[in-house]
Amino acid sequence: MTEPIVDVATLEPGIVQVRMQDRANKNTFTEELIAGLTAAFAGIRERADCKVVILTGYDHYFSSGGTQAGLRDLFEGRYQFSDKDLYSLALNCPVPVVAAMGGHGIGGGFVLGMFADVIVLGRESVYTANFMKYGFTPGMGSTLILPNKLGFALAEEMMLTAATYRGEELQRRGVPFAVVPRDAVAGHALELARTLAEKPRVSLMTLKDHLVAPLRAELARHVGQELAMHAVTFHQREVRERIDTVFGQ
């Protein structure tokens, strides 16, 4: 039997795991993955038994971000990234979300995890906000969430250079969340989730709502600014050439 691209499972009372496992596409943002994640978080909103969500990937991949076809569609103006609001799923989830990012987080896939409330990275895995690798400016709320979670200096460097960083390097650079061996990420995330699940659900929801309120209030403005930058930067011939020749490298 074929496993679902997005699997939702109750690990323990109060703890729900959402696992992205599109091995064929390395958890890029295919229509199926986007639909699966959207449905998973919509279902969680209706579950009174859920206190915390663990968002994770499979093996060596958390998420690889946009597909090549999707980037070409953005270049052609067929849609905007905001048409598929994947980036705010964790932010708008009513209960805390732990991103167990043991695998690689690339581009929008890295940003997806940064919108979680608690983050765990793998020392051996690679992480990058590589939008500028293709010549267009960052999207998906990157310009809001990356400075907020990583600090302005590191976030600015990541976005401008589109460089790739191992988790151990980010740990040396002082990222303010756990970086552990890749094979320890799942266990570490589960222990964090257990600590959260000990608390009353209403209290967790109330505190999260208060803590992320500034991000929620600012997100639409930053997305609007990112879309305006895309209108300037995305439709250059060089961008299409880079999407065609550099993707996946």
User: Domain coordinates of the chain in residue numbers?
Assistant: 6-182
Helix 237-246 with 68-76: angle, nearest 10 deg: 170
Place 247 in a pLDDT band, splitting at 50, 70 and 90: confident
Determine the pLDDT at residue 89.
Answer: 96
Helix 152-161 with 142-150: angle, nearest 10 deg: 130
Query: Whole-angstrom Cα distance, residue 68 to residue 243?
Result: 7
Mean of pLDDT values over 144-170: 97
Q: State the maximum Cα–Cα separation within the chain, in Å, rounded to a whole number.
A: 54
3-class DSSP state of 115? coil
Q: Give domain 6-182's CATH number out of 2.60.40.10, 2.10.10.90, 2.170.190.11, 3.90.226.10.
A: 3.90.226.10
Is residue 103 within 8 A of residue 61, CB to CB? The reply is: yes
DSSP conformation letters of 147-168? HHHH-HHHHHHHHHH---EEHH
Residue with the two structure tokens 């609007």: 224
Average pLDDT, rounded, for the chain: 95
Whether 2 shows a pLDDT value over 90: the answer reads no
Determine the pLDDT at residue 140.
Answer: 94
Percent of all residues in the chain with a pLDDT value above 90, rounded to a whole number:
85
- pTM summary value: 0.95
- Nearest CA among 100, 97, 99 for reference residue 182: 100
Which element (helix H / strand E) includes 3? none
3-class DSSP state of 61? strand
Catalytic residues: 230
Determine the pLDDT at residue 249.
Answer: 62
